Amino acid sequence: MALKTVTREYEGFLEDRKSRFLAHLVPYDQFEQRLEELRKEHRKANHVVTAHRRLLADDRIEESGKDDGEPAGTSGMPTLRVLQGAELINCAVLIVRYFGGTKLGGGGLARAYSGAAQDAINNAELVPFQKLACRKVSTDFASGSELERRVESLGLCVLARDYTEDGVTLTVEGPEDAVSLL
The answer on 147 and 58 residing in a single domain is: no
Residue 103: CA atoms inside 13 Å, Cβ hemisphere, count?
5
For the chain, what is the largest distance between any 2 Cα atoms, rounded to a whole number of angstroms?
A: 74
Do both 108 and 151 map to the same domain?
Answer: no
Average of per-residue pLDDT across 55-75: 86
pTM above 0.75, yes or no: no
Residue 169 belongs to domain spanning: 132-179
Q: Are 21 and 55 within one domain?
A: yes
Query: How many structural domains compose the chain?
Result: 2
Same domain, 142 and 120: no
pLDDT at residue 14 greater than cutoff 70: yes
* pLDDT at residue 77, rounded to an integer: 92
> Which CATH number fits the domain that encloses residue 37?
3.30.230.30
Q: Backbone dihedral region of 10: left (phi > 0), alpha (psi from -120 to 50 degrees) or beta?
A: beta
Residues 169 and 117 in one domain: no
How far is residue 111's CA from residue 174's CA, in Å, rounded to a whole number?
39
140 shares a domain with 122:
no
In this structure, the answer to whether residues 118 and 152 fall within a common structural domain is no
* Claim to verify: residue 70 and residue 147 sit in the same structural domain: no
As a whole number of Å, the CA-based R_g of the chain is 22
Task: Give the span between the Cα atoms of 99 and 119, in whole angstroms.
Answer: 19
| pLDDT for the residue 157 | 80
Same domain, 168 and 112: no
Same domain, 14 and 95: yes
pLDDT tens digits, 139-154:
888 888 888 888 888 8
